[in-house]
A and B are shown apart, each in its own frame.
Chain A
Amino acid sequence: MSEHLLVQLFLSGIGMGFIFALIAIGLTLIYGVMNVVNFAHGEFLMLSMYASYLAFATWGADPVVTLPFVAAMMFIFGLLVYYVLVRRVMRGSMNAQIFATFGLMVFLQAAAQFIMGADYFAVRSGVLSGVLEVGSFTLPAPQLAAVVGASTATGALYWLVFRTGTGRSLRAASQDRQAASTLGIDVDRMYALAWGIGAACVGVAGSLLSNFYPVFPRVGAMFVLIAYVAVALGGFGSIHGALVAGVIIGLLQVLAGFFISSQLKFVPVYLLYLIVVLVRPRGLFGRL
């Protein structure tokens, strides 16, 4: 058991963790602003992966190049989902909100299979499919990109939320909807924005993932479970919480997979989640 191996495991785990974080950030943003968990988040990921793949298959476009377009497309899709579906259940009970995104999840998965079939598709050797050798350590490029991407996204979101007028409005709308609208803030627009940005974040994640992970209708399911855990672990609504939690999960699953059992490597993750959430219901950084 060499130190080299241990360090490599750490690096790989953290890298993977940033990918999980990127998926979780969008989810936590939506929750933070409007107290709604998007149960269809995994399908947003799946859609962005399909988009990346289709751009590659049709025009030979590299996912790195199409990343901003996929993000923009997902932004619009997020807005669409808000205006067509979510807005109408905001007045309803929490259960109605849960059911709504739940139904969306089932629908999108089925629609993907309906349109694209159940086949696996993979992008071949994009720019980001290689590795970076740092000394004797291997850093896979997609994960490096995720580190950059997730950090940038977190930074950008922080800047947006805490240093801009729009951000102020977002925060106001999330804290007290009534008060915010009496202050002239278009709460509806803020909610839509949250959905758009949240979807765009997961769009970036999907674009990066498509560099090395194949896409198929149910690809979102595994990732989204991890994202839920990351969001709850980090604390619903906390962006840096999602980042930290994502990285912890990435690390834990690699270490557990190596030292305990690769078949059950997520069980320690789930256990950690349950423990943290019981000892500290609002998660690591949440503000309940």
Chain B
Amino acid sequence: MVPPEKTLLKLLALAGLVGVLLVLPMALSDRPFELRMMVVIFLYAMLGHGWNILGGYAGQISVGHGLFFGLGAYTSTVLSLKLGLNPWLGMAAGGAVAAAAGVLVGIPCFRLKGHYFVIATLVVAESVFQLFTAWDWVGGAMGLQLPVKEEGLLNLQFHRNKVPYYYIALGMLAAVTAFVWWLEQSRFGYILRALRDDEEAARSLGYSPVTHKLLAMALSAGIVGTGGVFFAQYVLFIDPFSVLALSFSVVIALIPILGGAGTVAGPILGAIVLVPISEYSRVLFSGTGRNVDLLIYGFLIMLISVYRPDGLAGLFRAKRERREYVPG
């Protein structure tokens, strides 16, 4: 049992963190690089949460999640271009389409186990990517440009100052984090973990693996899809290479893995570590074309898999468990 002082301390720390995050933009108003980096951290953390529901809690590793990101982005963008649909509604639509796609993919694929499933997700994502580059109606390889509208919350576009994007992303991250935290404690979360750890046993207790996995997939895909919509509104331009590429799917998986799959803090930790490494190494090593950030990622992942498969979150948890295990 965690002593009450600990809980209070934790809450205070959390409040402090939230406070800092809320006022940070004022310090960053003329530092677009850092501001944008924060937005990217929030977005990736959110995507990581989404992936985590399926990969961490349900134990189904997907390396094709970019598919849902892209579908979300394309749905809202196409609806905006063809029907003038408001991007917030587009976000709902994008999330819904992504979730539906997740279920469609899951129905056949969940019959596969372990590595088969991983490869199936890879294959599906790559197929959709190739199809989109050849599909003229969604712009093919040329992509889609969102029209520049009057800026404001209604249109989800901000031109002169990117700070509102920061708050929107932060808000979305907070909402998803709260949701995942709740999910973890809920019965559904418990069942998912049971299925992950021992599917046979869980099944024998009467829990249907498929329905639960499909639900997890829908949630996972839906969250990632709404992230895609946000991205589309942020850049105002999408093409298959920026929202559907396999390399992007890899990043979506890497972040929660590094941070700690199956934990609430994992995706956030992963994003906090990986995004700055990527950003700063790009800026510092510009002109060498040497991919230093990927070199570091890859090495970190290998290190984590060997020493701390629980990811960075595992580092903290192990400490706490050790401390609590003091006999006496």
Contact = CB atoms under 8 A, between A and B. Distances in A.
B228 interface: no
Contact of B305 (A31, A99, A263, A266): A99
A225 B299 CA distance: 22
B130 A95 contact: no
Nearest to B304: A99
Contacts of B298: 103-111
A259 interface: no
B14 interface: no
Chain B contact residues, majority secondary structure: helix
Interface stretch (B15-23, B108-116, B142-150): B108-116
A221 B116 CA distance: 18
A109 B294 contact: yes
A283 B119 CA distance: 13
A107 B122 CA distance: 19
Contacts of A108: 298
A134 interface: no
B102 to A, nearest CB: 16
Interface residues of B, number: 45
Interface in A211-241: 221, 225, 228-229, 232, 236
Contacts of B112: 277, 281
A99 B130 contact: no
Nearest to B123: A270
B124 A274 contact: yes
Contact of B127 (A93, A228, A232, A270): A270
B123 A107 contact: no
Interface in A106-149: 106-111, 113-114, 117-118
A113 B288 CA distance: 10
B142 to A, nearest CB: 14
A257 B250 CA distance: 28
A110 B295 contact: yes
A274 B108 contact: yes
B289 A117 contact: yes
Interface of A: 31, 37, 85, 88-89, 92-100, 102-111, 113-114, 117-118, 221, 225, 228-229, 232, 236, 261, 263-264, 266-267, 270-271, 273-274, 277-278, 281
Given A100-B306, A113-B289, 16 more contacts: A37-B115, A88-B306, A89-B306, A94-B114, A95-B309, A96-B309, A98-B61, A99-B302, A102-B250, A103-B305, A106-B297, A110-B294, A111-B295, A236-B115, A236-B116, A270-B126
Closest 3 CB pairs between A and B? A107-B298, A103-B301, A106-B298
